[in-house]
Amino acid sequence: MDRTLVEKYAAPVPRYTSYPTAPHFKTDVSGATYGDWLRALPQGASASLYVHIPYCDRLCWFCACHTKQTRQYDPLECYLTALSAEIDTVAALAAGRLKVTALHFGGGSPTMLKPEHILSLGQKLRHAFSFADDAEISVEMDPNDMDAARFDALAAIGMTRASLGVQDFDMRVQQAINREQTFEQTKAVVDAVRARGVNSTNLDMLYGLPHQTLETIAATAEKVLSLRPDRIALFGYAHVPWMKKHQTMIDEALLPNAAARLEQAELATRLLLAAGYEAVGMDHFALPADGLAIAARSGTLRRNFQGYTTDQADALIGLGASSIGLLPQGYVQNMPATGEYERRVLAGSLATVRGLELSDADRMRAWVIERLMCDFSFSRCELLAQFGEPARAVVAEAELLAANDRDGIFRRAGNRFVVTDQGKPFVRSIAAAFDAYLGQGTARHSIAV
């Protein structure tokens, strides 16, 4: 890869797990707004649930999630009481109209929960909402939390996918990010969930970490591949210490530059492809028979706050502090501070503190950006058919972008606008060209490689 291209297109831009992106949410979307939107969902609407557990028993310095460290369990018990109250409130507003097709437990560390609380939370959700028989239930797992009782509890609530963060198996890298986790621990978790009938596993790798080299990337990839997970996510470390203060514990002098990051990503990609995985979007890989790979091949891949997904639900319902939801009308986000979140939901209110009501222009640009992020292309005819005359302005922007491209990263090919193979590492930067909000406000982002 030409280093001048890396320097030119690695400028900080959003990751586009939503459009408009979260920094542009507004406080005029309130709990009352969210309540109205929930009541408007039609009978039989499909929904995904995201349940956020914002606690960890250790704080990984690379993490950019909404979480906090606790050595005590009391805060989790208080939080679960509040979470139960929010589930009741949301379920009452939806009035039994929703069919849940997917449930994701995220964090933080959901596996910090005691086995009896995993069981009671799973039962609570199934009592409050109607689940499809084939609903996917995925859980983010910390191998350091796991024991036989937790494995059994997760199997009992119907877990269908286990997701584990690996990052890098090199001990020097792990110590630099405060995330020590051996290969043996990771393998034990994969073996334990498979022994309980959970056949889908996802492992996350990171590049761009302190002390990482091409050698550590290759060694980690070899160990990950030996476990043959169904899906592998290959994320670039997002260094945002202005937003996540604990990232200041990472010595910036030890971080690879943009060119080195790209070399690491390209090496890992070659190794994963050579092992029989298919590329999905810009940073996911899946075995050919996995639903994610099938969706990528068929053009039905989606992207949301959990990354690339097969989820086609009508609504995403976020539960828990800081959780984000998406309904046909727009985005909603809960209060991030756990104490205030608990106070609001225990009082019988919704915890919504901000969001965004989507305009037709937002939906149009969201469609373009999602197709670029998922398919590396979009159809001019499909854009015009879906959004009509207003879409001609976006077509004109795409025509101009392709006409002015001197780097061979974006072009028009018949009816389609296409990100070239050379442009794929910079797809976030290309998508940003269609972002009408970028540059407004004070939001800062991680680099685009």
pLDDT in tens, 339-373: 999 999 999 999 999 999 999 999 999 999 999 99
Per-residue pLDDT at 16 exceeds 70: yes
Taking phi over 0 as left and psi of -120 to 50 as alpha, with beta for the rest, 108 belongs to left
Burial class (CB within 10 angstroms; exposed 0-12, middle 13-18, buried 19+) of 191: exposed
Domains (ranges, CATH) in the chain?
A: 21-357 (3.80.30.20), 360-432 (1.10.10.920)
Residue 115, both tokens: 């086995």
Burial class (CB within 10 angstroms; exposed 0-12, middle 13-18, buried 19+) of 383: buried
Nearest to residue 356, comparing CAs of 332, 323, 337?
332
What average pLDDT does this structure show over 161-180? 94
pLDDT of residue 400: 98
CA quadruple 235, 398, 360, 443: dihedral sign: positive
CA quadruple 396, 399, 403, 407: dihedral sign: positive
Determine if the peptide bond prior to 20 is cis (ω within 30°): yes
Per-residue pLDDT at 45 exceeds 70: yes
pLDDT bucket at 112, cuts 50 / 70 / 90? very high
What DSSP assignment string belongs to 417-437? Answer: EEE-TTTGGGHHHHHHTT-SS
- Per-residue pLDDT of 308-346, as tens digits, reads 999 999 999 999 999 999 999 999 999 999 999 999 999
What average pLDDT does this structure show over 105-134? 97
What mean pLDDT is reported for the chain?
A: 94
Backbone angles phi, psi at 344, to 5 degrees: -65, -50
- The model carries a pTM of 0.93
Burial track 212-233 (b if 16+ CB lie within 10 A, e otherwise): bbeebbeebbeebbebebbbbb
Per-residue pLDDT at 447 exceeds 70: no
The secondary structure of residue 233, as a DSSP letter, is E
pLDDT of residue 448: 52
Give percent of the chain with pLDDT exceeding 70: 98
User: Which residue type does 139 have?
Assistant: V
Nearest to residue 40, comparing CAs of 324, 357, 363, 322?
357
Q: Do 344 and 398 touch, CB atoms closer than 8 A?
A: no
Crossing angle of helices 380-387 and 360-375, in 10° steps, is 150
Question: For 2-16, 222-236, 300-314, 388-402, which range has the lowest pLDDT when averaged over its residues?
Answer: 2-16
pLDDT of residue 145: 92
Cα separation, 392 vs 4, in Å, equals 33
Beta pairing partners, 315: 47
What average pLDDT does this structure show over 36-63? 93
User: Residues 6 or more apart from 164 whose CB is under 8 A from it?
Assistant: 140, 141, 142, 143, 186, 189, 190, 201, 202, 203, 204
Provide the 10 A C-beta neighbour count for residue 252: 10
Per-residue pLDDT at 264 exceeds 60: yes
pLDDT of residue 445: 56
Q: What distance lies between CA 130 and its chain's CA centroid?
A: 24
Residue in this structure with the two tokens 């409130």, named with its chain if needed: 89
Q: Identify the three-state secondary structure at position 55.
A: strand
pLDDT of residue 220: 98
Per-residue pLDDT at 379 exceeds 80: yes
The H-assigned helical ranges of 41-114 are 74-94
What average pLDDT does this structure show over 437-444? 74
